[in-house]
Structure 1
Amino acid sequence: MNIIINGFHDRLLFPVLHEILNKFPFKNVYLTYTTNRISFSRNVCLNFYKVEDLARADYQVDWNSITPLSKKILDSMSECEVMALRMMDRHTISIEPLLTYNERKRLYLRHLRYWNHIISTGKISLFLSSNIPHEVYDFIIYSLCKIYKIPTLLLYQTCISDTISVMNDWQTQNIKTGQVFLKVQKEFKYKGGTQLELENRFQYDFDKNTLIRPKTRFEMRRKKQRVDIINVLLPLIFKIRPKHWATLLKSPRLIMVGIRNEFRYYSAIQRSKKLAKFYDRHAEIPDLKQKYIYFPLHLQPELSTAPMAGSFVDQLLITQMVGYSLPKNVYIYVKENPFQDFTKRELNFYQDLLDIPQVRFVPMNFDTYELTDHSIALVTATGTAGLEALYRGKPVLLFGSIFYQYAKGVYRISNNDVCKQTLTAILKHKTSPTTQDIKLYLKSLERTTINGYIDLDYKKDTKVSQKVSNSNISKALINEIAKMLRK
């Protein structure tokens, strides 16, 4: 048996991998890493791939020994290709210009050819990832495994403290949660919401999100980076390793290329400032007495839209469908994410949004909870704002795949007919999820999620020790892997 493992890059998570590799007789293990490599005493062949090299599709192989791509594979991976090319937005960094279509296509085909060779010839039994694949190479591996019918096992750190969702498919998420939710509703059918006791992690999340003005989530407590010429050039200098200075000094051209790219990025920053001003000029204090749907835009590029929004990775498509389905007297209040990098937006994105008659831009610093509380419903691809809306008794139009998608009050939208029917029903019947509904769903999550954190940033808001978290993750993964390998 052979396995591809993506993620678990921090040393603090290595005990999880040790538990898995000790439990199952994998012979060849393909692992990604950032800085530290895991060591293992048992006779296992470890094949390491540095993430930095993977980002460039630098596999250091003789490509003449790698199986060429067939029409069948190229055609069957067409959906993956579209998403992978979009995902490459996140790999445009300050010392590189924007990738052209041909450059993106070249990277995609190199990833595809290499991993198709490994998967088709390497007798892979499982693909395990500590997050939903979204870094291009891992998404291609995942998609190939789906085509070859190789089991996949993914973890996802939810926005609920100490709660990890485990799934086989990012689109269906954890199907078991939806199934358990149906059982839980029957179980508590004749019990009041006050009789339903939740684990501390879920009660904590419920309590803090049902306050009139909840405290800002820890992941949103950050400052926007001040951008000027010093902030742009200094990272370039500090990224250069001492051993490379001699090479650079011998080749002034390389220095000039680096400086040129930095100034190109600085120019993009200047354009982004103009774009931010354009948004601010068209934003207005909202009239909360009007009928409106609230749409807080996603930060992009990010996992929450690529791949989790699927076909709706372009948020303009969501807004157009909602606007097309709404009566003319119901507005769409659109609020840009306060931490959006405007170098990742285009002027025509905002102009196209403003072309929709019902759209009104809201200032980025306007209180999101106040907008939610006075709205008819909230629209999102997969955002945390959707869960917050459920806590506050508001229906959610969901255009992507996320762990709360099976909750009552969530309406999954895929086409114009469904969108129009949903909005008509919400406007006519004023249906809203109740406190009991959200508590029942939290009870379902309690029974189908892992108590811990796989994203170490979430240690800032935890009640669980690293040892207990690792133990819970290991037990859950070993249980899932055992079931998958028995099939």
Structure 2
Amino acid sequence: MTAHPNPEPVARVVLWGWHSDDAVAAVRDLRGRGRLDVVAWFGNGPDCTHRLNPFIHQFRLDPLPAGIDLDPGRLAPDELLMFCDMYSRVSRARALPIHELMHVAYCYLRFWAALLASGRVTHVFFSSPPHFGVDYLLYLAARRAGASTALCCQSLFPDRFFYVRTLEDFGRFDEVPEACGRDPDEPPLRIERRFEKKLFYMQGVKIRAKPALPSLANDLRRLASTRPGKPMSLAGALQKYEEARQFACGYERLAADAPDLSVPCVYFALQLQPEMTTSTLGAGYSDQLSALERLSAMVPDGWRIYAKENPKQTGRQRGAAFFRRLAMIPKVTYVAKTVDTYALLQGCRFASTVTGTVGWEAITGGKPVVAFGQPWFASLPGVQRFRPGLTVDEVLQTRIEHAALERALQALLGKTMRGVIDPVYQGIVPDFDAPTNVGRLRSFLERGIDGQLFSAAPTQRAA
């Protein structure tokens, strides 16, 4: 008897993340059914081929894939800068000179190019947008190699996650079909008209920073006595101490704890850095002072821009030059972490951010926001994407009809998928059920294999 081939396509995949218990179960099921071959799996789950700490934090690129002698190509200057920005969150990157960072980037790029080619990879699935630098280079290599990419991002809405094929589409979601994740029995969405939100990830945040000197002593003890999973050089420990000291000095000198809300003002919420929300989705404004400089040129004389520091911010990307440059920007007042964000939203004429949740809070309370990056809410009513020539009058003329906002959000959530990829978000899902979640994650991966995630499937190489 002649054997009939399996009519369902078999994907040759690389997985980045996808290592929660539910995600692992979903992948195991698809492997068992012969729907995918895992060429490589980068994560901390039991089935992963490469653990994240050695691969990212210890710079251990082993085993090297076949074809490592292939030319990996060159990185554009903006790609290399984006890698450096993301990689700055990795402890071993502290105190590395720019040329050493460039060599690190090309080592990883060569690794990825060889892995994708020798493994004949057809699909690369990310459980979150790239934000370590290393994963960003995987994304670039996959796009160059013609592999299908899918990047997920858990949302603030229970049991929902966004996804895109390319980083450029995040916030627009043009390639994501409408109503792909909508439940036909779902009731009309209602949003409370107010600024205030209960954000679980901001509960219990300690605003007081760790003293610089005790932190240095702890780092030096670790260097002398252990082999940490996330190593740091002596020069890096000293740099970390100096950053913390400079941040404490600059914050104490400039932070205002009683901004005058009787004058016309803009509330700009500084975001935690380094973090995916700016380094990956900042659209060139990971340097948040560039956004403040554009705002300063935009608002009239007599206005103030209140740039409130993020409650979680540490010394990274807040050195002496940051504060010197900040002090040189006209109309800007640096605001202390302790000032109530909702008082600033109440008192401002409009809000501004790169991609921060303050933009969502603003429009749900009826105030417009100027967004510099690619926030998930970029397409909703009340959001003005910054562009050269944008005026304050245009922003102030923005009207937010609350019912229209609810309809637009419901349409946007129709472009999300149901499920929880990041287990931290399980706590906001009422009656969370793991088997149901496994099924949803499995369905997402299977739709990706079958080319059903996006409006137009890209040309793919045969496995």
Name the TM tier (shorter chain).
0.7 to 0.9
CA contact 2:270–2:310 (8 Å) conserved in 1: yes
The structure richer in helix per residue is 1
Match of 1:424 among 367, 387, 393: 393
Q: CA deviation at 1:60?
A: 2.9
Please state how far the C-alpha of 1:439 moved relative to its aligned partner.
0.6
Cα deviations by residue, 1:380-420 (Å, 9 ceiling, x for unpaired): 1111111111111111211111221111221222x422x33
What is aligned with 1:475?
443
Matched, 1:345 2:318: yes
Give the match for residue 132 of structure 1. Answer: 129
SS in 2 for 1:48: coil
Of residues 305, 310, 324 in structure 1, which corresponds to 2:283?
Answer: 310
What CA deviation, in whole Å up to 9, does each residue of 1:194-249 have, x standing for no partner? xx9436xxx4xx33xx446444544343224633655554566579998x79xxxx
- Cα distance in 2 for residues equivalent to 1:145 and 1:261: 32
Does 2:191 align with 1:222?
A: no
2:402 maps to 1:451: no
Q: How does 1:61-80 map to 2 (within 5 A)?
A: 61=63, 66-69=68-71, 73-75=73-75, 77-80=76-79
**Aligned with residue 434 of structure 1, among 401, 416, 435:** 401
Alpha-carbon distance in 1 for matches of 2:50, 2:434: 25
CA 1:443–1:24 in 2, change beyond 3 Å: closer, same or farther? farther
Match of 2:284, SS state, is: helix
Q: Which residue of 2 aligns with 1:250?
A: none
Report the secondary structure of 2:300's partner residue: coil
Q: Deviations over 1:83-119 (max 9, x none)?
A: 00111210136xx742221221121010111111222
Q: TM-score, normalised by structure 1?
A: 0.79
Of the candidates 173, 187, 197, which is equivalent to residue 175 of structure 1? 173
- Among 356, 367, 370, the alignment partner of 2:329 is 356
Contact 1:291 1:376 (8 Å CA) reproduced:
yes
State the Cα deviation string for residues 249-300 of structure 1 (Å, max 9, x = none): xxxxxxxx977865664444333322321232xx252222221121000100
Match for 1:321 among 279, 282, 294? 294
Secondary structure at 1:342 match in 2: coil
Q: Tell me which moved more, 376-385 or 19-28.
A: 19-28
Query: Match of 1:74, SS?
Result: coil
Deviation, 1:345, is 0.9
**In the TM superposition, what is the alpha-carbon distance from 1:178 to its structure 2 partner?**
8.4
Say if 2:67 and 2:117, in contact at 8 Å, map to a contact too: no
| Separation in structure 1 between the aligned mates of residue 277 and residue 69 of structure 2, nearest angstrom | 33
Partner deviation per Cα, 1:170-193 (whole Å, 9 max, x = no partner):
221262598749xx9xxxxxxxxx
Deviation at 1:341, TM superposition (A): 0.5
Contact 1:32/1:51 (8 A) holds in 2? no
**For residue 188 of structure 2, what is the amino acid of its counterpart?**
L
Q: What is the rounded CA distance, in whole Å, between the counterparts of 2:188 and 2:143 in structure 1?
A: 36
Which range moved further: 222-231 or 154-163? 222-231
Q: Deviations over 1:403-443 (max 9, x none)?
A: 21111221222x422x33xx33123xx32322112211221
CA–CA separation in structure 2 for the residues paired with 1:356 and 1:411: 22
Aligned-pair identity in percent equals 20
**What SS does structure 2 have at the residue aligned with 1:373?**
helix
CA contact (8 A) 2:281 2:355 kept: yes
Number of the residue aligned with 1:118: 115
Q: Distance in 1 between matches of 2:21 and 2:204?
A: 26
Distance 1:62 1:442 in 2: 45
- How far does the alpha carbon of each residue in 1:95-151 deviate from its partner, in whole angstroms, 9 at most, with x for none? x74222122112101011111122234321011000001111110011122223321
Change (3 A) 1:467 1:64: closer
Aligned match of 1:365: 338
Task: Give the paired residue count.
Answer: 435
Is structure 2 residue 377 aligned with structure 1 residue 377? no
Whether the 8 Å CA contact 2:273–2:316 is kept in 1: the answer is: no
Over the residues paired in the alignment, what is the CA RMSD in angstroms?
Answer: 3.2
Q: Distance in 2 between matches of 1:368 and 1:177?
A: 35
1:321-346 Cα distance to aligned partner (Å, 9 max, x none): 11112222322111111110024312
TM-score by length of 2: 0.83
Q: Which deviates the most, 432-441 or 312-321?
A: 432-441
Partner Cα distance (2:337, 2:285) in 1: 22
* SS across alignment from 1:483: coil
461 and 369 in structure 1: CA distance in 2 versus 1, 3 angstrom threshold: same
Q: Which runs of 5+ in 2 are unaligned?
A: 1-10, 459-463
The 1:108–1:458 alpha-carbon spacing in structure 2 relative to 1, beyond 3 Å, is same
User: Partner amino acid for 1:452?
Assistant: G
Asked whether the 8 Å contact 2:18–2:24 carries over to 1, the reply is yes
| 1:161 aligns with one of 158, 162, 185 | 158
The answer to whether the Cα contact below 8 Å between 1:165 and 1:448 also exists between their aligned partners in 2 is: yes
Aligned counterparts of 2:302 and 2:258: Cα–Cα separation in 1: 18
Letter paired with 2:131: H
CA shift in 2, pair 1:330/1:276, >3 Å? closer
Aligned match of 1:142: 139
Q: 1:276 touches 1:342 (CA, 8 Å); kept in 2?
A: no
CA contact (8 A) 2:31 2:37 kept: no
Matched AA of 1:52: P
Q: Is residue 434 of structure 2 the alignment partner of residue 466 of structure 1? A: yes
Equivalent-residue separation in structure 1 for 2:414 and 2:251 (angstroms): 44
CA apart distance, 1:379: 1.2
Report if aligned partners of 1:295, 1:335 keep a CA contact under 8 Å in 2. yes
Q: Match for 1:133: what amino acid?
A: P
**CA separation of 1:37 and 1:366: change in aligned 2, threshold 3 A:** same
* Equivalence for 2:246: 271
- Secondary structure of 2:87 counterpart: helix
Tell me: CA distance 1:264–1:298, structure 2 relative to 1, closer, same or farther (3 Å): closer
TM-fit CA distance, 1:357: 1.7
Which structure is richer in relative contact order (CA contacts within 8 A, separation 6 or more)?
2
Unaligned runs of 5+ in 1: 39-45, 185-195, 246-256
Q: 1:446 to 1:62 in 2, by over 3 A?
A: closer
Q: Structure 1 residues 484, 365: closer, same or farther in 2, change over 3 A?
A: same
How many Å separate the matches in 2 of 1:240 and 1:7? 31
